[in-house]
Amino acid sequence: MSEYIPISDAKKMRSGVNVDAEVVSKGEPRTVNLKSGSGTVNVCDAVIANEDKSEENQMKLTLWGDDIKAVNVGDKVVITNGYTNEFKGEVSLTKGKFGKMDINP
């Protein structure tokens, strides 16, 4: 069993991130071009929170493809072996190729 960490700690990590959180908001999906140049994929940003839902315990969760429809506001999500990246000063979490996401486990 993996050990889950607070989002405030996850923001400081790069990989191997295990988080148990609630989806507090979800944006509109958008289409982006794949880096490989082999087409497009839908992507959507959600915000997850744990503990007191203060700003330091909230983080953007990037959802790709089929995960967009599977995740809704109010759902509990458990990310195992996810990774973070930073864009324009904001850290976001994604399950990536090697991670796993369970919804309402």
Tens-digit pLDDT profile for residues 17-45: 999 999 999 999 999 998 888 899 999 99
CB 15 within 8 A of CB 95: no
- The DSSP call for residue 3 is P
Confidence of residue 2 (pLDDT cuts 50, 70, 90): low
Q: Which residues, 6 or more positions from 1, have their beta carbon under 8 angstroms from its beta carbon?
A: none
Burial label, 73 (beta-carbon count in 10 A; 0-12, 13-18, 19+): exposed
The full set of domain ranges for the chain reads: 7-103
Question: Into which CATH architecture does domain 7-103 fall?
Answer: Beta Barrel (2.40)
Place of tokens 């988080």: 19
The model's pTM is 0.91
Evaluate if residue 1 carries a pLDDT over 60: no
